Structure 1
Amino acid sequence: MSTDASVRTFVAHEANEFVEDLKAWLSIPSISGDPNRTGDVRASAEWLAAALRRTGFPTVEVWETGDGAGLPAVFAEWPSDDPKAPTVAVYGHHDVQPVAPLELWHSGPFEPDERDGRLYARGAADDKGQVFFHLLGVRAHLAATGRTAPAVNLKLIVEGEEESGSPHFPALLREKADRLACDVVVVSDTDMWDRDTPSTCTAMRGMLAVQMDFRGPTGDIHSGAFGGAIPNPVTELVRVLGYLHDADRRITLPGFYDGIVELTDVERQLIAKLPFDEAAWLRTAKSTAAIGEAGYSTLERIWARPTAEINGIWGGHTSPGSKTIVPSEAHAKLSFRLVAGQEPTRVRDAFEAWLAQRVPAGIEYTTSYEGDGVRPCLTPLDHPALQSVTRALGRAFATEPGGEPREILYTRQGGSGPEADLQDILGAPVVFLGISLPEDGWHAPNEKVDLDLLLKGAEATAYLWEDLAGNN
Structure 2
Amino acid sequence: MSALEQVLSHVDNHLEESIERLFDLVRIESISTDPAYKAECLKAAQWLERELKGLQFDASVRPTPGHPMVVAHTPDQSEGPHVLFYGHYDVQPVDPLELWDEPPFEPYISEQPDGSKQLKGRGTSDDKGQLLTFVEACRAWRAVTGKLPLNASILFEGEEETGSPSLDAFLAANRDELRADLALVCDTTMWDRDTPAITVQLRGMMKENLVIKAASRDLHSGAYGSSARNPIHVLSRILADLRDDKGRVQIPGFYDGVEELSPEMKQQWDGLGFDGAAYLKEVGLSIPAGEEGYNVLEQLTARPTCEVNGIWGGYTGQGSKTVIPAEANAKLTFRLVGTQDPAKIRAAFRTFVEARLPADCSVEYESVGGEFGPLSVDTDMPFMQKVKQALSDEWQKEAALIGSGGSIPITTEFRRVLEMETLLVGFALDDDRIHSPNEKYDLKSFHKGIRSWVRIIEALSR
Is TM-score (shorter-chain normalized) higher than 0.5?
A: yes
Distance 1:198 1:29, change over 3 A: same
Mapped partners of 1:275, 1:153: distance in 2: 38
Q: 2:246 aligns with which of 235, 248, 251?
A: 248
Q: 1:174 aligns with which of 164, 172, 175?
A: 172
1:8-37 per-residue CA deviation (whole Å, 9 max, x = no partner) reads 211101211111111111111111112111
Deviates more, 1:235-244 or 1:162-171: 162-171
Mapped partners of 2:142, 2:378: distance in 1: 30
Cα pair 1:134 1:461 within 8 Å, conserved: yes
Cα pair 1:81 1:150 within 8 Å, conserved: no
Distance 1:104 1:415, change over 3 A: same
**Is residue 2:260 matched to residue 1:262?**
yes
Alpha-carbon offset, residue 285 of structure 1? 3.5
Residue in 2 that maps onto 1:442 = 434
**3-state SS, counterpart of residue 228 of structure 1:** coil
Write the letter of the residue equivalent to 1:358: R
Residue in 1 that maps onto 2:332 = 334
Cα pair 2:199 2:425 within 8 Å, conserved: yes
TM-score, length-normalised on structure 1?
A: 0.93
Mapped partners of 1:372, 1:291: distance in 2: 25
**Superposition CA RMSD, Å:** 1.7
Mapped partners of 1:181, 1:142: distance in 2: 23
Q: 2:231 aligns with which of 227, 230, 233?
A: 233
**Identical counterparts, % of pairs:** 39
1:99-140 per-residue CA deviation (whole Å, 9 max, x = no partner) reads 122222222211111132221111111101111111221233
Alpha-carbon offset, residue 80 of structure 1? 4.8
1:338-378 per-residue CA deviation (whole Å, 9 max, x = no partner) reads 11201111111111222221111100111111126122111
Residue in 1 that maps onto 2:403 = 412
Mapped partners of 1:454, 1:54: distance in 2: 21
**Is residue 2:461 matched to residue 1:462?**
no
**3-state SS, counterpart of residue 111 of structure 1:** coil
* Unmatched tracts of structure 2, length 5 or more: 112-116
Q: 1:347 aligns with which of 345, 348, 351?
A: 345
Distance 1:287 1:79, change over 3 A: farther
Alpha-carbon offset, residue 286 of structure 1? 4.4
Mapped partners of 1:20, 1:221: distance in 2: 63
**3-state SS, counterpart of residue 383 of structure 2:** helix
Mapped partners of 2:280, 2:169: distance in 1: 39
Mapped partners of 1:325, 1:307: distance in 2: 34
Residue in 2 that maps onto 1:62 = 61
* Unmatched tracts of structure 1, length 5 or more: 399-405
Count of paired positions: 456
Mapped partners of 1:346, 1:79: distance in 2: 44
Mapped partners of 2:415, 2:163: distance in 1: 17
Cα pair 1:85 1:153 within 8 Å, conserved: yes
Alpha-carbon offset, residue 451 of structure 1? 1.7
Alpha-carbon offset, residue 284 of structure 1? 4.0
Mapped partners of 2:128, 2:415: distance in 1: 22
**Is residue 2:445 matched to residue 1:453?**
yes
1:42-441 to structure 2, matched below 5 A, reads: 42-57=42-57, 59-66=58-65, 70-82=66-78, 84-116=79-111, 117-142=117-142, 146=145, 148-371=146-369, 373-398=371-396, 406-418=397-409, 419-441=411-433
Mapped partners of 1:383, 1:79: distance in 2: 28
Alpha-carbon offset, residue 287 of structure 1? 3.0
1:53-97 per-residue CA deviation (whole Å, 9 max, x = no partner) reads 11221x10111112xxx0011111115523x53221111100111
Mapped partners of 1:36, 1:286: distance in 2: 39
Cα pair 1:80 1:151 within 8 Å, conserved: no
